[in-house]
Structure 1
């Protein structure tokens, strides 16, 4: 079982920002911005490349939950970045799909 599955199952503690029956969002333990949370589905999906048409609803829930996290953490009005890395070459290090929600500082482009 991956580390994010263990967080979703409450086997590993996390600082939860938002949760419903399908997704959970928690603060990143290695933040790259003043506000940095991760939104994950409670059901394991390794990444975008592994998502199927049956995952359509939960993928939409991830983005709506990201918006909710931005609201709850106070970064929605000033602007925030959402990032989904897909594969090791893109920077994905935990192979359980997740959306980074980052804000609280200006974000440069390209991200690097």
Structure 2
């Protein structure tokens, strides 16, 4: 049994969006890394707002599809990490780890309203 229900996963998503908006400035990332993080936050927020789970604004994207979209960002995050250095690299590797962890801990077959 995986501990992240659709409802909990939604709260993780919104928290992650907030972190992707706040962390780049707090960590003094490069302007390019900041822009990439803000773009990721925007895309995650858009998908989250439209996913079929309780914290969504409009429930249009099936929860398992949300998972596949989220997992597709993993290689992009690794690519961003490979193209940067220092704290920028660590930041994108940490985001990749967070995506992988959230994906692995989520019950993608659960009833979204459970």
Give the TM interval when normalised to the shorter protein.
0.3 to 0.5
With the length of structure 2 as denominator, give the TM-score of the two structures: 0.32
With the length of structure 1 as denominator, give the TM-score of the two structures: 0.33
- Specify which structure has the bigger relative contact order, considering alpha-carbon pairs within 8 angstroms and separated by 6 or more residues: 2
Larger Cα-atom Rg: 2
